[in-house]
């Protein structure tokens, strides 16, 4: 019988001494998880890899002390799909969450995400398919286009910041083949931020190609002031103007804005998304949802979020998961989402795609490697090899 024989986790430091309006990323790390099966292909156990959301912290305590022991102690037959060939992510989710109370969706949501996403990678490898194809199959999604619209996220505040440096950075993304961008706001005063926005629009060629992200920094009054000052510029979207759980703030902005609003990257659960839909004033066809499976219990929960959005009249084209990396690229392709982001040059070794992925005209095509193709990402290779040594 197929079974999970071992689960390993290592904490990998995030590379990037950059700052948004709220945090500096240099102290962050990420949990890279290996779920090892007893199925042998080409002389090695088939192994799935996953990691939690970048821009936060590794979750070694919750994984090693609570979730991994629960999964390994479970009856292996209870973790399999009906055909007994694949591992059922929803069943593994339930076992890993045994004795956890409802609510309090904090760090455990990203701990479970790393583990659950590794199970999706494992299943796709057992099926010998790229993850996007496996995800589409499991969810009955017809993939309209494999090329995923992708924007380059950057425009952070650096200690030696300047408009020329920002323009140089965005020009570099243009040269790589990106045609849409996102920059940070809220880390400087309004006048400086407006200068930064104008400098970015100059390189992008149009306001519609530049989104701005305040990372939850503003109160309602400041958010409205920024909104009013930016409104003539026809920007792509205004992301996380205020605290991610301040749905009343979103609602107030949603009533007056002409600019799309974006949020969701700091919602940890289906229930958070329900509350955003109930109270945040988000508009069908206009606003952007950025929930990230790596932060919110994994893909099983993300798929439930999607159906909640659709029940509320939203559509998948409004979804751009946070986190510019291979896992979310495959999720965006396999679920027909609006697109995903990319962080060229920052947030290694996780951020960015592999050389096997094609980028042209602002669209990225995942490779045909089985699973999420993390093994093809050169910067991740040493860490995957470290996990393989433990296997
Ligand atoms: Mg953001």
Tens-place pLDDT, residues 195-246: 999 999 999 999 999 999 999 999 999 999 999 999 999 999 999 999 999 9
Residue 387 CA, ligand 1 centroid: distance in Å: 30
> How far is C-alpha 62 from the geometric centre of its chain's CA atoms?
20
d(CA 283, CA 149): 21
pLDDT at 27: 82
pLDDT surpasses 70 at 17 = no
My answer on whether omega of the bond before 4 falls inside 30° of 0, hence cis, is no
Tens-place pLDDT, residues 345-382: 778 899 889 999 999 999 999 999 999 999 999 999 99
Token output for 60: 């070694």
**Which of 53-62, 86-95, 260-269, 307-316 has the lowest average pLDDT?**
53-62
Alpha helices (runs of H) in 283-380, residue ranges in sequence order: 299-311, 326-334
Higher per-residue confidence, 19 vs 320: 320
Q: Which residue has the tokens 């992510």?
A: 89
pLDDT surpasses 80 at 22 = no
Residue 239 CA, ligand 1 centroid: distance in Å: 6
Tens-place pLDDT, residues 48-67: 999 999 888 999 999 999 99
Residue 10 CA, ligand 1 centroid: distance in Å: 26
d(CA 196, CA 201): 9
pLDDT at 347: 83
Going by C-alpha positions, the residue among 236, 226, 136 that lies closest to residue 178 is: 236
Contact 121, 127 (CB under 8 A): no
Residue 86 CA, ligand 1 centroid: distance in Å: 34
pLDDT surpasses 90 at 25 = no
Tens-place pLDDT, residues 324-348: 999 999 999 999 999 999 988 778 8
Tell me how long the chain is.
Answer: 391
Mean pLDDT of the chain: 95
pLDDT surpasses 90 at 185 = yes
Residue 5 CA, ligand 1 centroid: distance in Å: 37
The average pLDDT across 72-80 equals: 97
pLDDT at 391: 77
Q: What angle do CA 21, 327, 273 make, to 5 degrees?
A: 60
Pairing of strands 363-365, 148-153: antiparallel
The average pLDDT across 294-308 equals: 98
Residue 1 CA, ligand 1 centroid: distance in Å: 43
Residue 379 CA, ligand 1 centroid: distance in Å: 23
Residues involved in catalysis: 184, 322
pLDDT at 162: 84
Residue 240 CA, ligand 1 centroid: distance in Å: 7
pLDDT at 21: 66
pLDDT at 344: 83
The average pLDDT across 59-86 equals: 97
pLDDT surpasses 80 at 23 = no
User: Binning pLDDT at 50, 70 and 90, where does residue 37 land?
Assistant: very high
Residue 120 CA, ligand 1 centroid: distance in Å: 25
> How far is C-alpha 146 from the geometric centre of its chain's CA atoms?
18
End-to-end CA distance of the chain: 20
d(CA 195, CA 266): 28
The average pLDDT across 151-157 equals: 91
The average pLDDT across 57-83 equals: 97
Contact 353, 359 (CB under 8 A): yes
Residue 126 CA, ligand 1 centroid: distance in Å: 34
pLDDT surpasses 80 at 16 = no
> What is the pTM assigned to this prediction?
0.96
Q: What angle do CA 108, 65, 273 make, to 5 degrees?
A: 10
Residue 391 CA, ligand 1 centroid: distance in Å: 36
User: Binning pLDDT at 50, 70 and 90, where does residue 316 land?
Assistant: very high
The average pLDDT across 33-40 equals: 98
Return the number of other C-beta atoms located less than 10 Å from residue 136's C-beta.
20
pLDDT at 161: 65
Residue 358 CA, ligand 1 centroid: distance in Å: 24
Give percent above pLDDT 70 in the chain: 98
Contact 300, 270 (CB under 8 A): no
The average pLDDT across 70-75 equals: 98
Residue 97 burial (10 A CB sphere; 0-12, 13-18, 19+) = middle
């Amino acid at each position: 019988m197929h079974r999970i024989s071992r689960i390993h986790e290592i904490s990998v430091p995030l590379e990037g001494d950059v700052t948004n309006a709220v945090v500096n990323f240099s102290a962050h790390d990420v949990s890279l998880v290996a779920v090892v099966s007893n199925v042998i292909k080409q002389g090695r156990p088939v192994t799935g890899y996953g990691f939690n959301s970048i821009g936060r912290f590794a979750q070694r305590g919750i994984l090693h002390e609570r979730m991994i022991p629960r999964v390994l102690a479970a009856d292996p037959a209870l973790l399999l799909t009906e055909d007994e060939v694949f591992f059922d992510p929803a069943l593994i989710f339930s076992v890993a969450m045994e004795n956890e109370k409802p609510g309090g969706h904090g760090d455990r949501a990203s701990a479970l995400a790393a583990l659950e996403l590794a199970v999706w990678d494992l299943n796709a490898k057992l099926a010998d398919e790229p993850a996007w194809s496996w995800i589409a199959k499991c969810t009955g999604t017809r993939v309209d286009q494999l090329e995923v619209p992708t924007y380059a996220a950057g425009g952070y505040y650096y200690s030696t910041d300047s408009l020329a440096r920002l323009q140089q950075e965005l020009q570099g993304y243009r040269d790589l083949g990106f045609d849409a961008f996102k920059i940070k706001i809220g880390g400087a005063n309004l006048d400086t931020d407006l200068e930064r926005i104008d400098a970015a629009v100059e390189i992008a060629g149009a306001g519609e190609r530049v989104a701005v992200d305040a990372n939850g920094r503003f109160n309602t009054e400041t958010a409205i002031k920024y909104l009013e000052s930016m409104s003539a510029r026809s920007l792509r979207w205004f992301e996380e103007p205020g605290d991610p759980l301040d749905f009343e703030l979103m609602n107030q902005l949603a009533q007056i804005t002409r600019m799309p609003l974006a949020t969701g990257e700091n919602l940890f659960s289906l229930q958070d998304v329900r509350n955003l839909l109930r109270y945040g004033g988000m508009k069908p066809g206009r606003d952007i949802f950025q929930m990230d499976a790596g932060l919110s219990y994994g893909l099983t929960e993300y798929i439930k979020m999607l159906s909640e959005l659709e029940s509320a009249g939203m559509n998948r084209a409004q979804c751009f998961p946070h986190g510019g990396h291979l896992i979310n690229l495959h999720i965006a392709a396999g679920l027909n989402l609006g697109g995903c982001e990319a962080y060229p040059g920052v947030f290694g070794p996780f951020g960015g795609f592999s050389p096997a992925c094609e980028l042209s005209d602002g669209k990225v095509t995942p490779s045909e490697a089985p699973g999420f193709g993390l093994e093809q990402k050169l910067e991740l290779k040493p860490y995957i090899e470290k996990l393989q040594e433990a296997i």
